[in-house]
Amino acid sequence: MGSASSASAAANPLIPATARPGRRTRRRGAPGAPAAPPVESRPTYRKQEGKKKKKKDKAATDQEHTFSLTNLKAMYSDAMLCDVVFTVQGQDFLGIRSVMALQSPVLRGILFSPEVKGPLSATNRLMIPIEEADPLVFKLFLDFLHTGQISIPCRFISGRSLIPALLDMSRRFEVPSLTEALGGLKEDDIDADNILNLMLLAKRYGDVELLEDCMHFIKYFADVMFKDKNFIVGLPKEVLTMLLASDELGAKEDTLVNAIVRWGQFKIDSGEEKMELSEVVKDFIPFVRLPLVSGAILNNLIAPLGLVEEEQILKILCYQIDKKNYRTAVIVPAARKKPKMKRILKKKAGVKALISKSLENMISISVDGSVAAPYAQTHDGGACVVGGYIFAHYGNDGSGGNRIYAIDIESGASTMVDLPFPTHGSYPCHDGGNYVYVFEDSDSAHGNGFGRIAIDGLTFERLPDAPAQHLRYSSCCVQGRSFWKLTSDYRVAQFDIDAGTWSTKASVSNPGILMADPYNEDIIWVQFQGQDLSRFSISENTFTTASTTGTYFNLGANYPCFLVPGEDGNVFIASFASSAWNVFDSSTSTWHAVSGYPGVVEGGQCMYDSESGRMYFQSSGGITFNCAEG
């Protein structure tokens, strides 16, 4: 077999490339959260998400491009056509010499070096070792060279954490098209499942920005994250110390104490620490706000450690019993102050920050502001709120709903976006920050039109028509990188946003309001017309009744219903039925009477803004959206 060129290490990128400087591409996007199946990022498609789309060339050109990509993939996946073997940390990766040489002038010089003897084939492959490279990074690099695409493994969700290493690889082998493609990847997918891996990769590749994003995510999602045993025991001591020392750590003190003890016990059980538990965790206890720790945790976990004097614990217990007369000044303060901001949660798959609510916040609210509405008659209309805008359409505004109003919440100004179809009687929904999805009304001879509006730029894009007309007065939602709605043949319809295709799922018996669960991407909540509140499992394609209400929810009159994220992974569902508001708490499966909610009538447009924590209510005939915060 032939061998690679023996040129000097300074000129050969296959030798450690420590002397190859290069400016790191500045990253775009905000930290975030999603998801589910492997995400395939096509550079052109990703670039279009944040910018105005370029007009496509002729259809024949697109077909030719698709044909060539398909055949390149087929060649790359056929081992009999591969004539090069790269070895990275003991793992072998196949490649096609001619294809790689076209993409990289550096590889061309190596693969077609005069020192490579004889024709290459599947039985006479060129063997090339790669030093100082991560196998996953190099595999992604090879995939791009052969297919022009970057496919990110599910466990990492997006290519964000790998970008620095891939950028180094693109400079090392002089592949500018890879650098450009990396700039188009979505970079906002931090979630509870991948955050430890992301932190390790960020530290490994010196990605300070990503590391900061991970820390930011943990701080604001702390009350949930610190209850996750796998997450806690995987934290290095220095990271746990940094988190506990942060004034922005939004977790309950009982949760923190339990997490500290669990972390210390794991270190002892695993053999990493040989000391007593009190010695292992003693550096963490000063950061706990002891007056906020419950009596049970103080007695059962804090006291046995012997790190807090008995007298101090007694003083805290006295304070908790009689806060009015017992001075907090006698209690030693913690090294960590109480967070000043509200608890903020991050959702998976790129959805922006979610502000959660407690039951107390939900059952009693008061209107404290308003936003001007462009039209008063909400009957046969719909609305959603995202990105600082209320997106509303009105079926009786004289256009038949052939337009949607983007209402700037701060200024009150409205911008009209024309639509190619009527929306009379349908609802818009959003994906958390990029698009608002709209679909065609089912009245009279109307069709199956479907499309979306870019929040950045307010431009409309038509998407493939739905398989059937929508089920009148039913709403829609985006969950797990798919758009979901009910159709006139009483089926659940799914539009795969990445694939651009429709499919039909389970059957239903009534119209319903669809609400994506912000904590579980497998669940869609559905308030059906009638008395059934149900959960739809995407993976199982089944409905389960969560509650049977005591009042009749009338979608024939287009009454409102909306979901609000709770503080502990639960959800609240506010529903207007029989002239009254009630709130469902998923943690107890109970309904609660509420106060302060504005009265609405048929066609009320009511919703919750998870970015600001505010509720918006427009009653039919009202010229404003009333605003309230629990």
pLDDT in tens, 73-118: 677 777 788 889 999 988 889 999 889 998 899 998 888 888 877 6
Domain check: are 325 and 282 in the same one? yes
Domain check: are 427 and 520 in the same one? yes
Long-range contact set of residues 148-151: C-beta below 8 Å, sequence gap at least 24? 148/43, 148/69, 148/72, 148/177, 148/181, 149/40, 149/41, 149/42, 149/43, 149/69, 150/40, 150/41, 150/43, 150/181, 150/182, 150/185, 151/38, 151/40, 151/41
17 found inside a domain: no
318 found inside a domain: yes
Per-residue model confidence (pLDDT) at position 560: 85
Domain check: are 368 and 275 in the same one? no
12 found inside a domain: no
Extract the runs of DSSP E, i.e. beta strands, from 434-587: 435-439, 450-454, 460-463, 476-479, 482-486, 491-496, 501-507, 512-516, 523-528, 530-537, 542-553, 561-565, 571-577, 580-585
Domain check: are 379 and 496 in the same one? yes
Domain check: are 115 and 223 in the same one? no
13 found inside a domain: no
Domain check: are 124 and 250 in the same one? no
Strand order in the sheet with 580-585: 561-565, 571-577, 580-585, 590-593
* Amino acid letter, 510: N
Domain check: are 223 and 304 in the same one? yes
Domain check: are 283 and 414 in the same one? no
H/E element, 429: strand 429-430
Domain check: are 288 and 388 in the same one? no
Cβ distance 100 to 138 under 8 Å?
no
DSSP string of 241-298, one letter each residue: HHHHT-TT----HHHHHHHHHHHHHHHHHTTS--S-HHHHHTTTGGGS-GGGS-HHHI
Domain check: are 461 and 609 in the same one? yes
Query: What's the domain count of the chain?
Result: 3
The 10s digit of each residue's pLDDT in 158-196 is 444 566 677 778 888 898 888 777 655 544 456 777 777
pTM, 2 dp: 0.49
Among residues 330, 362, 386, which one ends one of the domains? 330
Residue 565: pLDDT band by 50, 70, 90 thresholds?
Answer: very high
Residue 545, pLDDT > 90, answer: yes
175 found inside a domain: yes
The domain in which residue 240 lies consists of 219-330
The 10s digit of each residue's pLDDT in 260-295 is 999 999 999 999 999 999 999 999 999 888 888 888
- Give me the CATH number covering residue 142: 3.30.710.10
Alpha helices in 94-183 (DSSP H): 97-103, 105-111, 135-147, 163-172, 176-183
Domain check: are 513 and 589 in the same one? yes
Among residues 298, 330, 362, which one ends one of the domains? 330
Domain check: are 405 and 456 in the same one? yes
